[in-house]
Structure 1
Amino acid sequence: MKAFIPGATGQTGRRIVQELVRRDIPVKALVRNLETAREILPPEAELVMGDVLNPSSLYTAIGDSTVLLCATGAKPNFDFTGPYNVDYLGTKNLVDVAKQKGIEHFVLVSSLCVSQFFHPLNLFWLVLFWKKQAEEYIQKSGLSYTIVRPGGLKNDDNQFPIVMESADRLFEGSIPRTKVAQVSVEAIFQPAAYNKIVEIVTQAEAPEKSWQKLFGSIINN
Protein backbone atom coordinates (compact mmCIF):
# COMPACT_ATOMS: atom_id res chain seq x y z
CA MET A 1 0.00 0.00 0.00
CA LYS A 2 1.12 3.54 -0.77
CA ALA A 3 -1.02 6.58 0.04
CA PHE A 4 -1.26 9.73 -2.06
CA ILE A 5 -2.32 12.87 -0.15
CA PRO A 6 -3.53 16.00 -1.97
CA GLY A 7 -3.82 18.93 0.44
CA ALA A 8 -0.97 17.47 2.48
CA THR A 9 0.24 20.79 3.92
CA GLY A 10 -3.20 21.91 5.10
CA GLN A 11 -4.22 21.68 8.74
CA THR A 12 -6.09 18.42 8.22
CA GLY A 13 -3.88 17.03 5.46
CA ARG A 14 -0.71 17.25 7.54
CA ARG A 15 -2.40 15.26 10.30
CA ILE A 16 -3.42 12.60 7.78
CA VAL A 17 0.21 12.37 6.67
CA GLN A 18 1.33 12.08 10.30
CA GLU A 19 -1.21 9.32 10.99
CA LEU A 20 -0.11 7.36 7.92
CA VAL A 21 3.56 7.71 8.90
CA ARG A 22 2.70 6.59 12.43
CA ARG A 23 1.21 3.43 10.94
CA ASP A 24 4.29 2.87 8.73
CA ILE A 25 2.32 3.38 5.52
CA PRO A 26 4.39 4.89 2.67
CA VAL A 27 3.15 8.40 1.83
CA LYS A 28 3.37 10.58 -1.26
CA ALA A 29 2.40 14.13 -0.29
CA LEU A 30 1.21 16.41 -3.08
CA VAL A 31 2.66 19.90 -2.53
CA ARG A 32 3.15 23.12 -4.44
CA ASN A 33 6.01 24.48 -2.36
CA LEU A 34 8.78 22.08 -1.35
CA GLU A 35 10.40 24.38 1.20
CA THR A 36 7.14 24.96 3.05
CA ALA A 37 6.29 21.26 2.92
CA ARG A 38 9.65 20.26 4.40
CA GLU A 39 8.98 22.52 7.37
CA ILE A 40 5.50 21.08 7.96
CA LEU A 41 5.58 17.39 7.08
CA PRO A 42 7.49 14.49 8.65
CA PRO A 43 10.70 13.52 6.85
CA GLU A 44 9.32 10.05 6.11
CA ALA A 45 6.84 11.53 3.62
CA GLU A 46 7.85 11.62 -0.04
CA LEU A 47 7.13 15.09 -1.42
CA VAL A 48 5.86 15.37 -5.00
CA MET A 49 5.08 18.56 -6.86
CA GLY A 50 1.74 19.03 -8.54
CA ASP A 51 -1.52 20.95 -8.70
CA VAL A 52 -5.06 19.57 -8.54
CA LEU A 53 -5.98 21.94 -11.38
CA ASN A 54 -3.31 20.35 -13.61
CA PRO A 55 -4.35 16.74 -14.37
CA SER A 56 -1.10 15.86 -16.13
CA SER A 57 0.88 16.83 -13.04
CA LEU A 58 -1.42 14.63 -10.95
CA TYR A 59 -0.88 11.63 -13.20
CA THR A 60 2.87 11.89 -12.71
CA ALA A 61 2.66 12.68 -8.99
CA ILE A 62 0.39 9.75 -8.09
CA GLY A 63 2.91 7.33 -9.55
CA ASP A 64 2.54 3.90 -7.95
CA SER A 65 0.19 4.99 -5.16
CA THR A 66 -2.67 2.58 -4.43
CA VAL A 67 -4.97 4.68 -2.21
CA LEU A 68 -5.80 8.39 -2.21
CA LEU A 69 -6.86 10.55 0.74
CA CYS A 70 -7.99 14.00 -0.37
CA ALA A 71 -7.79 16.82 2.17
CA THR A 72 -7.90 19.79 -0.18
CA GLY A 73 -10.15 22.75 0.52
CA ALA A 74 -10.52 26.35 -0.61
CA LYS A 75 -9.11 28.87 1.84
CA PRO A 76 -11.35 31.76 2.91
CA ASN A 77 -10.47 34.76 0.76
CA PHE A 78 -11.97 37.13 -1.78
CA ASP A 79 -11.52 34.77 -4.75
CA PHE A 80 -15.08 33.70 -5.55
CA THR A 81 -13.76 30.95 -7.86
CA GLY A 82 -11.86 29.21 -5.03
CA PRO A 83 -14.52 26.70 -3.90
CA TYR A 84 -15.44 25.81 -7.49
CA ASN A 85 -11.81 25.35 -8.53
CA VAL A 86 -10.48 23.60 -5.42
CA ASP A 87 -13.44 21.80 -3.88
CA TYR A 88 -15.12 20.72 -7.11
CA LEU A 89 -12.89 20.94 -10.18
CA GLY A 90 -9.74 19.89 -8.33
CA THR A 91 -11.52 16.91 -6.79
CA LYS A 92 -13.02 16.00 -10.17
CA ASN A 93 -9.52 15.98 -11.67
CA LEU A 94 -8.28 13.75 -8.85
CA VAL A 95 -11.15 11.31 -9.39
CA ASP A 96 -10.52 11.15 -13.13
CA VAL A 97 -6.79 10.54 -12.70
CA ALA A 98 -7.41 8.06 -9.86
CA LYS A 99 -9.55 5.99 -12.24
CA GLN A 100 -6.84 6.08 -14.90
CA LYS A 101 -4.21 5.01 -12.39
CA GLY A 102 -6.29 2.21 -10.85
CA ILE A 103 -6.50 3.70 -7.35
CA GLU A 104 -8.06 1.07 -5.07
CA HIS A 105 -9.82 3.40 -2.61
CA PHE A 106 -10.51 7.15 -2.55
CA VAL A 107 -11.16 8.95 0.74
CA LEU A 108 -12.55 12.48 0.53
CA VAL A 109 -12.67 14.84 3.50
CA SER A 110 -15.82 16.91 2.95
CA SER A 111 -18.01 18.69 5.53
CA LEU A 112 -21.20 18.42 7.54
CA CYS A 113 -24.27 20.14 6.08
CA VAL A 114 -23.23 19.98 2.42
CA SER A 115 -26.82 19.06 1.52
CA GLN A 116 -28.15 22.31 3.02
CA PHE A 117 -28.04 24.88 0.25
CA PHE A 118 -29.17 27.73 2.53
CA HIS A 119 -26.49 27.04 5.13
CA PRO A 120 -24.55 30.20 6.15
CA LEU A 121 -21.27 28.69 4.93
CA ASN A 122 -22.58 28.87 1.37
CA LEU A 123 -22.26 32.64 1.68
CA PHE A 124 -18.55 31.87 1.22
CA TRP A 125 -18.84 31.41 -2.56
CA LEU A 126 -21.07 28.29 -2.30
CA VAL A 127 -18.33 26.23 -0.64
CA LEU A 128 -20.72 23.56 0.68
CA PHE A 129 -22.55 23.38 -2.64
CA TRP A 130 -19.33 22.66 -4.53
CA LYS A 131 -18.23 20.08 -1.95
CA LYS A 132 -21.55 18.32 -2.50
CA GLN A 133 -21.02 18.32 -6.28
CA ALA A 134 -17.61 16.73 -5.72
CA GLU A 135 -19.17 14.07 -3.50
CA GLU A 136 -21.71 13.22 -6.19
CA TYR A 137 -19.00 13.00 -8.84
CA ILE A 138 -17.08 10.46 -6.76
CA GLN A 139 -20.24 8.45 -6.09
CA LYS A 140 -20.94 8.16 -9.82
CA SER A 141 -17.31 7.46 -10.77
CA GLY A 142 -17.19 3.73 -10.12
CA LEU A 143 -14.28 4.17 -7.71
CA SER A 144 -14.36 2.59 -4.26
CA TYR A 145 -14.76 5.56 -1.91
CA THR A 146 -15.38 6.82 1.59
CA ILE A 147 -16.66 10.37 2.06
CA VAL A 148 -15.86 11.76 5.51
CA ARG A 149 -18.00 14.70 6.64
CA PRO A 150 -16.53 16.21 9.83
CA GLY A 151 -18.17 18.81 12.01
CA GLY A 152 -16.40 22.03 12.98
CA LEU A 153 -12.67 21.40 12.80
CA LYS A 154 -10.54 21.97 15.88
CA ASN A 155 -6.74 22.11 15.93
CA ASP A 156 -6.58 21.01 19.58
CA ASP A 157 -7.18 17.34 20.30
CA ASN A 158 -9.58 15.96 22.90
CA GLN A 159 -10.28 12.54 24.39
CA PHE A 160 -14.00 12.51 23.62
CA PRO A 161 -15.39 9.49 21.73
CA ILE A 162 -16.21 9.76 18.05
CA VAL A 163 -19.87 9.85 17.05
CA MET A 164 -20.44 8.55 13.51
CA GLU A 165 -23.71 8.80 11.60
CA SER A 166 -25.00 8.24 8.07
CA ALA A 167 -25.42 11.07 5.57
CA ASP A 168 -27.51 14.07 6.62
CA ARG A 169 -27.99 12.94 10.23
CA LEU A 170 -25.64 15.35 12.01
CA PHE A 171 -26.05 19.12 11.72
CA GLU A 172 -23.87 20.51 14.51
CA GLY A 173 -20.87 19.63 16.63
CA SER A 174 -17.11 19.71 16.28
CA ILE A 175 -14.17 17.32 16.08
CA PRO A 176 -10.38 17.60 16.37
CA ARG A 177 -8.50 17.36 13.09
CA THR A 178 -6.42 14.53 14.57
CA LYS A 179 -9.55 12.40 14.84
CA VAL A 180 -10.61 13.32 11.30
CA ALA A 181 -7.22 12.01 10.21
CA GLN A 182 -7.70 8.80 12.20
CA VAL A 183 -11.13 8.19 10.65
CA SER A 184 -9.84 8.93 7.15
CA VAL A 185 -6.92 6.52 7.46
CA GLU A 186 -8.99 3.83 9.17
CA ALA A 187 -11.45 3.99 6.26
CA ILE A 188 -8.77 2.44 4.06
CA PHE A 189 -8.69 -0.69 6.21
CA GLN A 190 -12.36 -1.14 7.11
CA PRO A 191 -14.43 -2.86 4.40
CA ALA A 192 -17.52 -1.55 6.21
CA ALA A 193 -16.38 1.98 5.29
CA TYR A 194 -16.43 1.37 1.56
CA ASN A 195 -18.88 3.30 -0.61
CA LYS A 196 -20.33 5.18 2.34
CA ILE A 197 -20.71 8.76 3.56
CA VAL A 198 -19.83 9.06 7.24
CA GLU A 199 -20.56 12.13 9.36
CA ILE A 200 -18.37 12.57 12.42
CA VAL A 201 -18.17 14.72 15.55
CA THR A 202 -16.94 14.06 19.08
CA GLN A 203 -19.14 14.13 22.18
CA ALA A 204 -18.03 13.87 25.80
CA GLU A 205 -20.99 11.70 26.79
CA ALA A 206 -20.88 9.33 23.79
CA PRO A 207 -20.01 5.66 24.34
CA GLU A 208 -16.69 4.33 23.05
CA LYS A 209 -17.13 2.11 20.01
CA SER A 210 -14.73 0.05 17.91
CA TRP A 211 -13.97 1.08 14.36
CA GLN A 212 -15.88 -1.95 13.13
CA LYS A 213 -19.00 -0.90 15.02
CA LEU A 214 -18.69 2.76 13.98
CA PHE A 215 -18.39 2.07 10.26
CA GLY A 216 -20.68 -0.96 10.42
CA SER A 217 -23.54 1.17 11.76
CA ILE A 218 -23.58 3.37 8.65
CA ILE A 219 -26.07 2.58 5.91
CA ASN A 220 -24.84 2.51 2.31
CA ASN A 221 -25.58 5.52 0.15
Structure 2
Amino acid sequence: MKAFVAGATGETGRRIVAELVQRDVPVRALVRNLERARELLPPQAELVTGDVLQPDTLPDAIGDSTVVFCATGAKPSLDPTSPYKVDNEGTKHLVDASRDQGIQQFVLVSSLCVSQFFHPLNLFWLVLYWKKQAEEYLQKSGLTYTIVRPGGLKNEDSSASIVMRSADSLFDGSIPRSKVARVCVEAVFCPDARNKIVEIVAKADAPKTEIAQLFAGVG
Protein backbone atom coordinates (compact mmCIF):
# COMPACT_ATOMS: atom_id res chain seq x y z
CA MET A 1 0.00 0.00 0.00
CA LYS A 2 1.13 3.53 -0.78
CA ALA A 3 -1.02 6.50 0.19
CA PHE A 4 -1.57 9.83 -1.51
CA VAL A 5 -2.98 12.66 0.60
CA ALA A 6 -4.51 15.80 -0.93
CA GLY A 7 -4.95 18.69 1.48
CA ALA A 8 -1.93 17.33 3.34
CA THR A 9 -1.00 20.58 5.09
CA GLY A 10 -4.53 21.29 6.28
CA GLU A 11 -5.55 20.63 9.87
CA THR A 12 -7.19 17.29 9.04
CA GLY A 13 -4.87 16.31 6.21
CA ARG A 14 -1.72 16.62 8.28
CA ARG A 15 -3.25 14.33 10.89
CA ILE A 16 -4.04 11.77 8.19
CA VAL A 17 -0.41 11.94 7.07
CA ALA A 18 0.79 11.47 10.66
CA GLU A 19 -1.55 8.50 11.18
CA LEU A 20 -0.31 6.84 8.00
CA VAL A 21 3.32 7.40 8.97
CA GLN A 22 2.62 5.94 12.40
CA ARG A 23 1.34 2.80 10.68
CA ASP A 24 4.45 2.67 8.46
CA VAL A 25 2.42 3.31 5.30
CA PRO A 26 4.49 5.15 2.64
CA VAL A 27 2.90 8.56 1.99
CA ARG A 28 2.99 11.01 -0.90
CA ALA A 29 1.70 14.36 0.36
CA LEU A 30 0.31 16.82 -2.20
CA VAL A 31 1.45 20.33 -1.31
CA ARG A 32 1.65 23.71 -2.96
CA ASN A 33 4.33 25.19 -0.71
CA LEU A 34 7.27 22.86 -0.03
CA GLU A 35 8.83 25.07 2.62
CA ARG A 36 5.64 25.27 4.66
CA ALA A 37 5.00 21.55 4.20
CA ARG A 38 8.43 20.66 5.59
CA GLU A 39 7.54 22.56 8.76
CA LEU A 40 4.16 20.84 9.18
CA LEU A 41 4.60 17.26 8.02
CA PRO A 42 6.74 14.38 9.33
CA PRO A 43 10.03 13.85 7.48
CA GLN A 44 8.94 10.35 6.44
CA ALA A 45 6.32 11.81 4.08
CA GLU A 46 7.33 12.28 0.45
CA LEU A 47 6.33 15.77 -0.61
CA VAL A 48 5.01 16.28 -4.14
CA THR A 49 3.91 19.60 -5.58
CA GLY A 50 0.60 20.06 -7.30
CA ASP A 51 -2.89 21.45 -6.95
CA VAL A 52 -6.32 19.83 -7.27
CA LEU A 53 -7.38 22.93 -9.23
CA GLN A 54 -4.67 22.12 -11.80
CA PRO A 55 -5.64 18.64 -13.00
CA ASP A 56 -2.57 18.26 -15.20
CA THR A 57 -0.41 18.20 -12.05
CA LEU A 58 -2.22 15.25 -10.48
CA PRO A 59 -1.15 12.12 -12.43
CA ASP A 60 2.55 12.62 -11.74
CA ALA A 61 1.82 13.63 -8.15
CA ILE A 62 -0.22 10.48 -7.50
CA GLY A 63 2.49 8.39 -9.14
CA ASP A 64 2.52 4.81 -7.88
CA SER A 65 0.14 5.41 -4.98
CA THR A 66 -2.54 2.79 -4.45
CA VAL A 67 -4.98 4.65 -2.16
CA VAL A 68 -6.04 8.31 -2.13
CA PHE A 69 -7.20 10.47 0.76
CA CYS A 70 -8.91 13.76 -0.07
CA ALA A 71 -8.93 16.20 2.84
CA THR A 72 -9.12 19.39 0.84
CA GLY A 73 -11.62 22.11 1.68
CA ALA A 74 -12.32 25.72 0.84
CA LYS A 75 -11.18 28.18 3.46
CA PRO A 76 -13.56 30.95 4.52
CA SER A 77 -13.08 33.86 2.16
CA LEU A 78 -14.91 36.56 0.28
CA ASP A 79 -14.57 34.59 -2.94
CA PRO A 80 -18.04 33.14 -3.68
CA THR A 81 -16.55 30.62 -6.13
CA SER A 82 -14.12 29.09 -3.62
CA PRO A 83 -16.30 26.18 -2.37
CA TYR A 84 -17.39 25.41 -5.94
CA LYS A 85 -13.80 25.31 -7.14
CA VAL A 86 -12.17 23.49 -4.21
CA ASP A 87 -14.90 21.25 -2.75
CA ASN A 88 -16.52 20.38 -6.07
CA GLU A 89 -14.25 20.84 -9.08
CA GLY A 90 -11.02 20.09 -7.22
CA THR A 91 -12.38 16.86 -5.81
CA LYS A 92 -13.72 15.84 -9.21
CA HIS A 93 -10.28 16.43 -10.75
CA LEU A 94 -8.76 14.18 -8.10
CA VAL A 95 -11.40 11.51 -8.66
CA ASP A 96 -10.72 11.54 -12.41
CA ALA A 97 -6.96 11.29 -11.91
CA SER A 98 -7.40 8.50 -9.36
CA ARG A 99 -9.56 6.50 -11.76
CA ASP A 100 -7.04 6.97 -14.57
CA GLN A 101 -4.21 5.87 -12.28
CA GLY A 102 -6.03 2.73 -11.19
CA ILE A 103 -6.35 3.73 -7.54
CA GLN A 104 -7.71 0.93 -5.35
CA GLN A 105 -9.67 3.08 -2.86
CA PHE A 106 -10.58 6.75 -2.52
CA VAL A 107 -11.33 8.15 0.94
CA LEU A 108 -13.12 11.50 0.94
CA VAL A 109 -13.49 13.74 3.99
CA SER A 110 -16.87 15.46 3.60
CA SER A 111 -19.19 16.88 6.28
CA LEU A 112 -22.34 16.21 8.26
CA CYS A 113 -25.54 17.69 6.85
CA VAL A 114 -24.44 17.87 3.21
CA SER A 115 -27.92 16.71 2.20
CA GLN A 116 -29.58 19.68 3.93
CA PHE A 117 -29.69 22.49 1.39
CA PHE A 118 -31.09 25.01 3.87
CA HIS A 119 -28.39 24.37 6.45
CA PRO A 120 -26.75 27.59 7.79
CA LEU A 121 -23.34 26.47 6.53
CA ASN A 122 -24.63 26.85 2.97
CA LEU A 123 -24.63 30.59 3.61
CA PHE A 124 -20.87 30.18 3.10
CA TRP A 125 -21.23 30.07 -0.68
CA LEU A 126 -23.11 26.72 -0.70
CA VAL A 127 -20.16 24.81 0.75
CA LEU A 128 -22.26 21.80 1.84
CA TYR A 129 -24.07 21.67 -1.49
CA TRP A 130 -20.80 21.50 -3.40
CA LYS A 131 -19.42 18.82 -1.08
CA LYS A 132 -22.53 16.75 -1.81
CA GLN A 133 -22.03 17.14 -5.56
CA ALA A 134 -18.48 15.85 -5.18
CA GLU A 135 -19.70 12.90 -3.11
CA GLU A 136 -22.14 11.92 -5.82
CA TYR A 137 -19.47 12.23 -8.50
CA LEU A 138 -17.20 9.89 -6.54
CA GLN A 139 -20.02 7.39 -6.03
CA LYS A 140 -20.65 7.27 -9.78
CA SER A 141 -16.95 7.11 -10.72
CA GLY A 142 -16.52 3.35 -10.49
CA LEU A 143 -13.83 3.77 -7.82
CA THR A 144 -14.03 1.90 -4.53
CA TYR A 145 -14.76 4.68 -2.06
CA THR A 146 -15.31 5.57 1.56
CA ILE A 147 -16.96 8.91 2.33
CA VAL A 148 -16.44 10.14 5.87
CA ARG A 149 -18.77 12.88 7.09
CA PRO A 150 -17.47 14.29 10.39
CA GLY A 151 -19.30 16.66 12.69
CA GLY A 152 -17.76 19.94 13.85
CA LEU A 153 -14.00 19.58 13.75
CA LYS A 154 -11.91 20.14 16.88
CA ASN A 155 -8.14 20.51 16.89
CA GLU A 156 -7.77 19.12 20.41
CA ASP A 157 -8.04 15.37 20.95
CA SER A 158 -10.29 13.96 23.67
CA SER A 159 -11.12 10.68 25.38
CA ALA A 160 -14.65 10.69 23.95
CA SER A 161 -15.65 7.66 21.90
CA ILE A 162 -16.39 7.68 18.19
CA VAL A 163 -20.04 7.31 17.18
CA MET A 164 -20.58 6.16 13.58
CA ARG A 165 -23.86 6.09 11.70
CA SER A 166 -25.08 5.73 8.11
CA ALA A 167 -25.70 8.65 5.76
CA ASP A 168 -28.10 11.36 6.90
CA SER A 169 -28.44 9.94 10.42
CA LEU A 170 -26.45 12.45 12.47
CA PHE A 171 -27.22 16.16 12.42
CA ASP A 172 -25.11 17.68 15.18
CA GLY A 173 -22.09 17.00 17.32
CA SER A 174 -18.34 17.44 17.02
CA ILE A 175 -15.24 15.28 16.79
CA PRO A 176 -11.47 15.78 17.15
CA ARG A 177 -9.63 15.85 13.84
CA SER A 178 -7.26 13.16 15.12
CA LYS A 179 -10.20 10.75 15.41
CA VAL A 180 -11.33 11.67 11.90
CA ALA A 181 -7.85 10.82 10.67
CA ARG A 182 -7.93 7.44 12.42
CA VAL A 183 -11.30 6.62 10.85
CA CYS A 184 -10.07 7.61 7.39
CA VAL A 185 -6.91 5.53 7.63
CA GLU A 186 -8.71 2.53 9.11
CA ALA A 187 -11.04 2.64 6.10
CA VAL A 188 -8.31 1.37 3.76
CA PHE A 189 -7.58 -1.58 6.05
CA CYS A 190 -11.20 -2.53 6.66
CA PRO A 191 -13.24 -4.37 3.98
CA ASP A 192 -16.47 -3.26 5.70
CA ALA A 193 -15.60 0.38 4.93
CA ARG A 194 -15.75 -0.04 1.17
CA ASN A 195 -18.41 1.80 -0.80
CA LYS A 196 -19.99 3.33 2.29
CA ILE A 197 -20.88 6.78 3.52
CA VAL A 198 -20.36 7.08 7.27
CA GLU A 199 -21.12 9.96 9.62
CA ILE A 200 -19.01 10.38 12.75
CA VAL A 201 -19.05 12.41 15.95
CA ALA A 202 -17.50 11.83 19.37
CA LYS A 203 -19.48 11.43 22.59
CA ALA A 204 -18.18 11.03 26.11
CA ASP A 205 -20.96 8.63 27.08
CA ALA A 206 -20.68 6.36 24.04
CA PRO A 207 -19.15 2.89 24.46
CA LYS A 208 -15.59 2.48 23.22
CA THR A 209 -15.72 0.40 20.06
CA GLU A 210 -13.02 -0.57 17.57
CA ILE A 211 -13.28 1.41 14.33
CA ALA A 212 -13.50 -1.78 12.26
CA GLN A 213 -16.54 -2.81 14.32
CA LEU A 214 -18.10 0.59 13.75
CA PHE A 215 -17.72 0.22 9.99
CA ALA A 216 -19.21 -3.28 10.16
CA GLY A 217 -22.24 -1.87 11.97
CA VAL A 218 -23.10 0.60 9.22
CA GLY A 219 -25.29 -0.83 6.48
Residue aligning to 1:80:
80
Residue aligning to 1:3:
3
Residue aligning to 2:134:
134
Provide Cα deviations, 1:32-77, integer angstroms capped at 9, x if missing partner. 0000000100000000000101111001100000000000000001
Q: Is 1:17 paired with 2:17?
A: yes
Residue aligning to 2:96:
96
Secondary structure of residue in 2 paired with 1:74 = coil
Q: Is 1:51 paired with 2:51?
A: yes
Counterparts of 1:1-221 in structure 2, within 5 Å, are 1-219=1-219
Per-residue deviation, 1:156: 0.3
Q: Which ranges in structure 2 are unaligned for 5 or more consecutive residues?
A: none
Farther-moved stretch of structure 1 (127-136 vs 201-210): 201-210
Secondary structure of residue in 2 paired with 1:180 = helix
Tell whether the 8 Å contact from 2:73 to 2:83 is kept in structure 1 after alignment: yes
Per-residue deviation, 1:212: 2.6
Equivalent position amino acid for 1:118 in 2: F
Farther-moved stretch of structure 1 (27-36 vs 205-214): 205-214
Secondary structure of residue in 2 paired with 1:189 = coil
Secondary structure of residue in 1 paired with 2:198 = strand
Q: Which ranges in structure 1 are unaligned for 5 or more consecutive residues?
A: none
CA distance in 1: counterparts of 2:53 and 2:77, whole angstroms: 18
Q: Structure 1 length normalisation: TM-score? A: 0.98
Per-residue deviation, 1:211: 2.2
Per-residue deviation, 1:217: 1.0
Identity, in percent, stands at 71
CA distance in 1: counterparts of 2:212 and 2:91, whole angstroms: 28
CA distance in 2: counterparts of 1:32 and 1:210, whole angstroms: 35
Provide Cα deviations, 1:144-186, integer angstroms capped at 9, x if missing partner. 0000000000000001110000000000000000000000000
CA distance in 2: counterparts of 1:149 and 1:132, whole angstroms: 10
Equivalent position amino acid for 1:60 in 2: D
RMSD (Å), alpha carbons: 0.5
Secondary structure of residue in 1 paired with 2:28 = strand
Structure 1 stretches of 4+ moved >3 Å: none
Provide Cα deviations, 1:10-53, integer angstroms capped at 9, x if missing partner. 00000000000000000000000000000100000000000101
Tell whether the 8 Å contact from 2:28 to 2:48 is kept in structure 1 after alignment: yes
Equivalent position amino acid for 1:40 in 2: L
